[in-house]
Amino acid sequence: MRILLIEDDLKLKKYISEYLRAYDYNVDTVENFDDVMGYITKINPDLIILDINLPKFDGFYFLKLIRKLYKIPVIILSARSDEGEQIRGMELGADDYVTKPFSIGILLAKINALLRRVKDYNEEEIEVGELTLINNSMKLKYKNQIIELTKNEYRILNILIKNIEKVVSREELLEALWDDSNFIEDSTLTVNMTRVKKKLSDLGINNSIVTKRGVGYVFIGVDN
């Protein structure tokens, strides 16, 4: 995955770049702020980290241009922490807003979560036998039945089905459930897992999710 970092603070640029590269991201940085859009066109990144306080034009100016031309996910990085600025950023099309000072671990988690959601949305359907997870509408189809899923139910099934017959740890599932603004408690995972099993049971699918006590869960497939 390729990330374009648009940041003029040299120390921060170096710190973020080195950290993300350690997690196997390809990171490009803008060096000439007279040609920001040229960098985007040339690099065609999977995600953009955009500072607001930039030379000549601020990040909001570039965000408007980006949204006119691209659907690339954008995370704003800014020292402007007041609510109005954050709302402005989101209304202009940013996917997330991180205020300085920030935890680099939190930034990484937000990048991972955002790229995962984009990937999931682009994969319209995931099929296992006659069971189909419809990503862009968060529905579950089995034979001639279709049911609606909540956001959390969808996220649980998405990661379990993609890792069929593999143990998915509780920590991985908690990360998948983590919303942009709230950490998810362990009890929330348990409640949502119970609901997922109930919905599968309503479709006539029983015992497809096996609990590995103290470790996580395994989706073992569907008996047709």
The 10s digit of each residue's pLDDT in 195-223 is: 999 999 999 999 899 998 888 999 998 87
**How many residues in total does the chain contain?**
224
Segment 140-174, tens digit of pLDDT: 999 889 999 988 899 899 899 989 999 999 888 88
Tokens of 90: 């989101």
pLDDT for the residue 120: 64
Distance of alpha carbon 18 from alpha carbon 182, whole angstroms: 27
pTM (2 d.p.): 0.57
In angstroms, rounded to a whole number, what is the distance separating the alpha carbons of residues 91 and 107?
20
CATH label, 2-120, candidates 1.10.3720.10, 3.40.50.2300, 3.40.50.300, 3.30.470.30: 3.40.50.2300
Distance CA 219, CA 46 (A): 30
Give the per-residue pLDDT at 142: 92
Report pLDDT for 178. Answer: 72
98-144 pLDDT, tens digit each: 988 889 999 999 999 888 877 766 656 788 888 999 877 888 999 88
**Residue 157 · residue 140 · CB < 8 Å:** yes
Model confidence band, residue 179 (pLDDT cutoffs 50, 70, 90):
low
**Domain extent listing, the chain:** 2-120, 124-219
- In this structure, whether the domain defined by 124-219 belongs to CATH 1.10.10.10 is answered with yes
Q: What is the mean pLDDT of the chain?
A: 88
Is residue 57 within 8 Å of residue 64, measured between CB atoms? no
* 69 has a pLDDT exceeding 80: yes
The whole-number pLDDT of residue 181 equals 42
Report the C-alpha gap between 124 and 144 in whole angstroms.
Answer: 18
Please choose, from the candidates 93, 53, 102, 43, the residue with its C-alpha nearest in 3D space to the C-alpha of residue 73: 93
CB 47 within 8 A of CB 98: no
